[in-house]
Amino acid sequence: MILQVDLALRKVEGALRVVSWLVTLFTTFLIVADVSLRFLFNKPLPATWEMSEVLMPYIVFLGFAYALTEKAHIRVSLLTDKLSRRGKLACEVFAGLVGFAMCALITVWSWTKFWDSFRIGEEILAPIHIPWWFGKFAMPVGMAFFTVRYLVQAASAMIECASPKRG
């Protein structure tokens, strides 16, 4: 069961990673076009800075779960390197459950902030209409998958710790 959840989660994380890349490329193109038009024709694109601000959370938050899956997050292993296999797994379970709890709280908090912004139709102050809630939507989505990934990793470590292998 946990393997099926892990596989499905990996597919979603891959899709979120691609969206993050595409947003990064679009934002880069937007800034290059703005600077080029400003320099060459003294006609910058309106609200480039504001659009970049609204898109930035998609670059940051959509990659969190994928980075955790790939073990690309910062880890302090000074003590855990000296532990037995079961000790390392116990630390993985503890870290996964703490990460799950913290990320779940942040997910709920960020969802309420997004929803309040969406409800009132909040816009960023810019020369063109840019909904601020659109940028705020990336945090609860990214954090939700980050939360689930922590839970899956903690469950996987629990299962592995319960297995008969010794180490």
Two structure tokens written together for 76: 């302090």
**Does any domain span residue 157?**
yes
**Does any domain span residue 167?**
no
pTM above 0.85, yes or no: yes
- The domain in which residue 64 lies consists of 2-162
**Does any domain span residue 132?**
yes
**What pLDDT digit, counting tens, does each position of 38-80 carry?**
999 999 998 999 999 999 999 999 999 999 999 887 777 778 8
Residues in the chain with pLDDT values less than 70: 165-167
Q: b/e string for 44-82 if b means 16 or more Cβ within 10 A? A: ebebbebbbbbbebbbebbbbbbebbeeeeeeeeeeeee
Total number of domains in the chain: 1
**Does any domain span residue 78?**
yes
For residue 165, the model assigns a pLDDT of: 65
**Does any domain span residue 27?**
yes
**Does any domain span residue 20?**
yes
**Does any domain span residue 80?**
yes
For residue 85, the model assigns a pLDDT of: 87
For residue 7, the model assigns a pLDDT of: 94
